């Protein structure tokens, strides 16, 4: 990391979460709550690393743990429209314990491209 970081811990409060994360198991989506730690660069407040964990085991679906670890870094995109580097996640790791077995996935991202889109918000006509 190289710079000083601010470490921020967080946990979702069950009664306050409007849109919980979901885990899809056997074609059924089950809501989950998470807690975690964010490492934030003290010089520019960018998130450098983010770790989330399942807030509590879900015995109803045999999910004992679920952890995600995401590393962020400065990425330069070779595009004439790019005004400077972007802060993206070239790596993410997921680890879970399901039905007594531990599994892990490592996702690596590269060859980033810049895409641009336009949108227009159209309001419905008001009734008079």
Q: What is the DSSP string of 55-117?
A: SS-BGGGTEEEEEEEEEEEEE----TT--S-EEEEEEEEEEEEETTEEEEEEEE--S------
| pTM given for the model | 0.79
Taking residues 45-73, what's their average pLDDT? 94
- Which has the higher per-residue pLDDT, 99 or 126? 99
Contact 46, 69 (CB under 8 A): no
Judged by average pLDDT, the poorest of 49-53, 59-63, 73-77, 106-110 is 73-77
Over residues 62-80, mean pLDDT: 89
């Amino acid at each position: 990391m190289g710079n000083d970081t601010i470490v921020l811990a967080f946990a979702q409060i069950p009664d306050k979460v409007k849109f919980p994360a979901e885990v899809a198991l056997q074609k059924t989506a089950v809501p989950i709550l998470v807690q975690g730690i964010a490492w934030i660069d003290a010089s520019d407040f960018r998130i450098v690393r983010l770790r989330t964990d399942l807030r509590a085991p879900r015995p109803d679906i045999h999910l004992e743990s679920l952890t995600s670890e995401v590393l962020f870094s400065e990425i330069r995109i070779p595009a004439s429209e790019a005004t400077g580097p972007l802060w993206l996640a070239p790596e993410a790791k997921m680890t879970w314990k399901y039905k007594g077995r531990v599994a892990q996935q490592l996702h690596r991202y590269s060859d980033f491209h810049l895409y641009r889109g336009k949108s227009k918000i159209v309001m419905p006509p008001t009734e008079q």
